[in-house]
């Protein structure tokens, strides 16, 4: 399958690029995408939540009322979870939410996201570009030329600090290196803008496997 290559003015360069079928033309696997997104979101959690158990609460251990004759339940300590200010029963403890996901499953999820973007017409291929200095105005102009209004993800072949800095203050857009792109970023974007050499990098990497 081929797709026209646009320049940063939003016009056709007269060239087209062959998109590898194994990456952009597969049947999306929804479950693999779900697992990859779940793993990504789990890794963002700090897991520092904590509540005090009964033994951790600093309160008097004096028996607060006599054992019998009150007509109510027995109570031996103000630390009991049944009293205001007491400990919490089975409260949250610090934990690590990350979990392992097989490399092939993560790869399938990314390929599913790429294929979905192409199938839905939300994929734009542009020629490689760079910026001599960071310029938010110039970056916004590029998005306007490409008729992008919603969330966008720009995938570059190499890390370009000027392009990244230019996009940092623009809402609903992000720039990522093709080697670092993940499934969550792909499906979260309304439009995927990928450079020619990024496609070539994916093609080369896929063919070497």
The tally of domains found in the chain comes to 2
Please write the tens of the pLDDT for every residue from 77-117: 899 998 888 999 999 999 999 999 999 999 999 999 999 99
Selection from 4, 3, 6 nearest residue 145 by Cα: 6
Q: What pLDDT, on a 0 to 100 scale, did the predictor assign at position 206? A: 77
Report how far apart, in Å, the C-alpha atoms of 17 and of each of 22, 106, 175, 194 are: 15, 25, 21, 12
Phi, psi angle pair for 136, to nearest 5°: -65, -40
Q: What is the pTM of this model?
A: 0.83
Q: Same domain for 34 and 110?
A: yes
Please write the tens of the pLDDT for every residue from 172-193: 999 999 999 999 999 999 999 9
Query: End-to-end distance of the chain based on CA atoms, in angstroms?
Result: 21
Q: Same domain for 82 and 104?
A: no
Domain hosting residue 57, numbered range:
51-91
Integer Cα distance of 176 and 59 in angstroms: 52
| CATH code of the domain covering residue 144 | 3.40.1370.10
Integer Cα distance of 68 and 57 in angstroms: 26
Q: Same domain for 56 and 133?
A: no
Q: Same domain for 117 and 158?
A: yes
Q: Same domain for 34 and 87?
A: no
Other CB atoms closer than 10 Å to residue 58's CB: what's the count? 7
Contact indicator for 23, 108 with CB cutoff of 8 Å: no
């Amino acid at each position: 399958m081929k797709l026209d290559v646009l320049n940063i003015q939003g016009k056709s360069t007269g060239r087209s690029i062959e998109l590898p079928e194994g990456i952009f033309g597969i049947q999306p696997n929804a479950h693999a995408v779900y697992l990859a997104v779940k793993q990504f979101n789990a890794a963002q959690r700090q897991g520092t939540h904590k509540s005090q158990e009964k033994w951790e609460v600093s309160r008097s251990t004096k028996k607060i009322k006599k054992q019998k004759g009150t007509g109510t339940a027995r109570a031996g300590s103000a630390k009991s979870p049944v009293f205001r200010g007491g400990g919490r029963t089975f409260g949250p403890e610090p934990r690590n939410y990350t979990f392992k996901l097989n490399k092939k499953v993560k790869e399938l999820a990314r390929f599913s996201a790429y294929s979905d973007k192409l199938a839905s017409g939300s994929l734009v291929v542009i020629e490689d570009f760079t910026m001599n200095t960071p310029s938010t105005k110039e970056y916004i102009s590029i998005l306007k030329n490409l008729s992008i209004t919603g969330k966008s993800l720009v995938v570059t072949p190499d890390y370009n600090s000027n392009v990244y800095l230019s996009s940092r203050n623009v809402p609903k857009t992000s720039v990522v290196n093709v080697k670092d792109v993940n499934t969550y970023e792909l499906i979260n974007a309304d439009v995927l803008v990928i450079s020619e050499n990024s496609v070539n990098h994916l093609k080369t990497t896929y063919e070497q496997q």
